[in-house]
Amino acid sequence: DTGVSQNPRHKITKRGQNVTFRCDPISEHNRLYWYRQTLGQGPEFLTYFQNEAQLEKSRLLSDRFSAERPKGSFSTLEIQRTEQGDSAMYLCASSLRIQMDEKLFFGSGTQLSVL
């Protein structure tokens, strides 16, 4: 068990470009979450999956954001036509959702900078 892995660690892109991030959860975990965090703020919920099913996408997210979790394993988060306001740390977390005390295990995040 190597924990939750996120790639890349850092991404610098120009405004208008598309970017894709990958998250590999802990293998037996059925839940996978994406959060966005800006400096000094708490993680902001983006979306989450139970196995391969996407349960909810935040209403704060525009249609430029999309996430997938094919086969209920790894997940990708794509941002199309990036804007400077998309600059943030994107955190992935996984968990084993059986009971209420579902502990989230976080990856190290992908730091996105949009120039």
**Among the residue ranges 11-19, 21-29, 76-84, 96-104, the one whose residues contact another protein (CB under 8 A):** 96-104
For residues 83 and 81, give the distance between their C-alpha atoms in angstroms, rounded to a whole number.
7
Per CB under 8 A, does 112 bind another protein?
no
For residues 31 and 73, give the distance between their C-alpha atoms in angstroms, rounded to a whole number.
10
Give the Cα-Cα-Cα angle 6, 69, 113 (nearest 5 degrees): 40
Per CB under 8 A, does 38 bind another protein?
no
Question: Contacting another protein (CB under 8 A), which of 11, 29, 33, 36?
Answer: 33
For residues 91 and 48, give the distance between their C-alpha atoms in angstroms, rounded to a whole number.
12
Per CB under 8 A, does 113 bind another protein?
no
**Contact track, another protein, 56-95, x by CB under 8 A:** x--------------------------------x-x-x--
Instruction: Write the DSSP assignment of 53-70 as a string of letters.
Output: EEEEE-TTS-TTEEEE-G
Binding site for another protein (CB under 8 A): 33, 35, 40-45, 48, 55-56, 89, 91, 93, 100-106, 108-109
